[in-house]
Structures are given as C-alpha cells and as structure tokens.
Structure 1
C-alpha cells in the first residue's frame, strides 16, 4: 500500500507550499537589499538642509527613491505570498497582516513622493525663485519624509511582527525562535516610536538601535529560513493537503 506522502495531489501541495515559502523569503530579502542602500543614497537630501538651493546630487536621491519604492512593493509581496498559508491558522489575523503591510507600503510611497518633490523643486525652482521660500519648502518636504519613516518603517513592522509572529508561532511553520524574536522586538519598537513621537527619543539613538535590532533579526532570519529551508511540517499544511486530496477523490 502506498504511503500518504506518495499521493500525487499531496506532492503537488508540498511543491506549491515550497514555492510559496521561497517567494515570501525572497521578498523579505529584497526589502533588505533595497532599504539599506537607500539610506546612504538619500543622505544628500536628508542630512543637508540647503539641498534644494544647492548643487545637489539628484541621481543619488532618485536611485534611493527607486529603491524605497522597490522596498514598498516587496513589503506587499511578503504579505500576499504568505496569506494563502497563514490564513489557515487564523484568517482574521492574516488579513490584518496583509492590511498592515499595505499601509506600510503606502506610507513609504508618500515619503518617496515628498523627496522626489524636493528634487523637482531644486531642478526647476532655483531660477528666479526666492531662495528662502525654496529652503522652507524643501525642509517641509524632508520633514514629511522623516515623519513617514517614523510612522511606516519605524512603527508598522512592530504590528507586522505581532500579527505574523503570532501566526507562525502557533502554526510552527518555522522554528519558534524566529517568531519569538519578532514578538519580543515588537513592544520595544513600539515604545521607541511612541517616545520619538512625543520628542522623548531620537530616531537615531542608542534606544532606537536597541529597539530595532530584534525586529531586524526577526525579518532577516525569517527571509533566510523561508528562502533556503521552506516551511516546516505543520498541521495546517497537512490539513491543506488532505483537503486537496479529498477534492480530487
């Protein structure tokens, strides 16, 4: 008698979940590959108050904006890829994770638009325009971007970690130490972000770095594990296989 794992429909299910894990893992790694270089490429506009009225380095800033957009799309990709699997654990929580990722991507996009507006002002507004007005407009747009960074990448990953961490911890789709990192890091990141909103903490500080580290490790380890290992055997995967086999029969 053939073993259950030799059933063609179950093999198809295992292959599809492996592809799902690989897709989600690659999207997670893309968020790192795009967001980290963007920090350095955007340095001219973020750390130089007179960028909009100076010579500037528009090419660097535009590339940084492009990488931030890639990061935003990859954020959505992680949630869309994982949703069909994690919804079997709790569909409401899984839908909340997708929504949070969409919100994070939208906030990142707002920050990108504000910086592209600075570049546009610098390129077209310097001739005959009041330097003081340009300077104020440029500073305001950079302030918008900094606020989006605090609300988006600085806060929402904590919500993502709570939602997805819960789903992965309960389902055992990955080693439990991985979601535990996210569940520990989430309240720390939220605390750091709230203190920053009230002016009690700086976004670039020791507290912010310590609060961000567990979330950084959580997302990186999750991306690497899903890319190179895939999902662990889990009851929700067995249920999915049994359901598909039943439909075939």
Structure 2
C-alpha cells in the first residue's frame, strides 16, 4: 500500500468519525442543553459525560484530518493548505471550550458548594449559553471556512472528482451564511432551516470520506507538479 493510499484511508476514516462523534455528542448532551434546571435536579451525568467523550473523539478526529491531509495538498497551494490546518485547529479549540462549559455544569450539579439555587441556575445557564456559542462558531463558522479551503485545494488539484469538491465549495459558504443568520436571530441553529443549510457540507464530508476509502486520492493528480510550478512553466 502506497503512502498516498494510506493517507486517503486515514482521512476517509477520520472524516466519518467526525460525523458520527458530532451527532452522538449532540444527542447525548440534550439533558443539559434542554433542561433549564438541570443543575438543580437529579441530572443525567453519565449520559452527558459520554457526550463529552464523543466531543473529545471529535476533536482528535478534526486535528487528525488536518494532519493527514496536509502532506497531500501542500504541494498545490502551500499557503492555502496551511490556512486549512490553522482553521481546522481553531475549530478543535472552540469545541474543547464547549466541552469544558458542559463539564462545568456537571461539576456544579455534583458539588454546588452551598450556592443558592438562583445563583447556581444563573451560572449554569451562562455555561450552557457559552456551549451554544461554541457550537455555532466551531461546527458552523470554522467548519464552513475549512471546508471551503479544502474543497478549493481538492478542486484545483483534481485529487478527487470535481463534483465532490463542488459540494464543499457550495456547502462551506452556505453554512457560513446560515451561521450568520442564526447569530442575528433569524432562526435556531438546530431547526429545519438550519439542518437544510448544513446538508451540503454534510454531503461533502461523507462523499469525500466514501471516495477516499474506496478509491483514494487520484495518483495521476498527486504526481503532477504543483499548480504554481505548472503556471510558471506555461509562461
């Protein structure tokens, strides 16, 4: 197995892991995100902690995709490839902040330290609000930006079929626009409209993962000179 094929398998698997872990984390977090008085009640800490674990798996997979794909795409547009890695790392950091905010709510519920109920509920609501913002800025804004960068790199290099890259070129800006609309209160992030706006970027990641697992990066495109070198040769 060539190093290029191994890289394709790693990237494909990690992209699938990001999808599964992100959905699982969101589902498992529901008790703390939806119950305004979670910190005052019996709680569902085990479920929430499993959600946090899924989010940490997501963070590892996000970083892993950036590390695995960078050696493949850096020959084409080094600056854009580095930008993709940086924005992908930013997404991971934002997700970690969200995980910490949820874990803090669990800690407050377990050990309120004599704080009165109103103050405890206020702090917990603030921590959940922080998580909601990280959920918007990470899996929407940062994801949209890095999807656009990677799709551009793959479109220019032809390492994958261009229709797959086009999904990223469409999905990235669309989820960025949707995040802006959510930020200004036009609709909820987890809503039919928000889900519809996220569909193209979801299709982009799943189709990319599927293609890389089955076919891998196109060997002929990977062996071509970098784009800039081809442009200079043409001149």
- Would you say same fold, with TM above 0.5? yes
Q: After superposition, where does 1:146-165 map in structure 2 within 5 Å? A: 146-165=132-151
Give the Cα–Cα distance (whole angstroms) in 1 for the partners of residues 114 and 222 of structure 2.
65
Q: Deviation of residue 216 (structure 1)?
A: 0.3
Does the aligned pair in 2 maintain the 1:89–1:236 contact within 8 Å?
no
Aligned match of 2:161: 175
Counterpart of 2:79 (choices 76, 83, 92) is 92
Q: In structure 2, the residue corresponding to 1:174 is in which secondary structure?
A: coil
Q: In structure 2, the residue corresponding to 1:203 is in which secondary structure?
A: coil
Aligned match of 2:205: 219
Does the aligned pair in 1 maintain the 2:159–2:221 contact within 8 Å?
no
Give the Cα–Cα distance (whole angstroms) in 2 for the partners of residues 122 and 36 of structure 1.
25
Stretches of structure 1 that go unaligned for 5 or more consecutive residues are 1-13, 241-249
RMSD: 1.4
Aligned match of 2:230: none
1:194 aligned to 2:180?
yes
Aligned match of 1:23: 10
Q: Deviation of residue 238 (structure 1)?
A: 4.4
Counterpart of 2:126 (choices 140, 148, 163) is 140
How high is the TM-score relative to the length of structure 1? 0.87
1:207 aligned to 2:212?
no
Q: Deviation of residue 201 (structure 1)?
A: 2.3
Decide which structure has the larger Cα Rg and report it. Answer: 1
Give the Cα–Cα distance (whole angstroms) in 2 for the partners of residues 232 and 164 of structure 1.
16
Give the Cα–Cα distance (whole angstroms) in 1 for the partners of residues 179 and 224 of structure 2.
39
Stretches of structure 2 that go unaligned for 5 or more consecutive residues are 227-235
1:63 aligned to 2:63?
no
1:38 aligned to 2:44?
no
Give the Cα–Cα distance (whole angstroms) in 2 for the partners of residues 75 and 99 of structure 1.
11
Q: In structure 1, the residue corresponding to 2:35 is in which secondary structure?
A: coil
Aligned match of 1:246: none
Q: Deviation of residue 239 (structure 1)?
A: 4.5
Give the Cα–Cα distance (whole angstroms) in 2 for the partners of residues 29 and 38 of structure 1.
14
Aligned match of 1:131: 117
Q: Deviation of residue 107 (structure 1)?
A: 0.1
Between stretches 60-69 and 184-193, larger displacement belongs to 184-193
Between stretches 220-229 and 19-28, larger displacement belongs to 220-229
Q: Deviation of residue 234 (structure 1)?
A: 3.1
Give the Cα–Cα distance (whole angstroms) in 1 for the partners of residues 220 and 124 of structure 2.
52
1:184 aligned to 2:170?
yes
Counterpart of 1:48 (choices 32, 35, 42) is 35
Q: In structure 2, the residue corresponding to 1:234 is in which secondary structure?
A: helix
Does the aligned pair in 2 maintain the 1:21–1:231 contact within 8 Å?
yes
Aligned match of 1:243: none
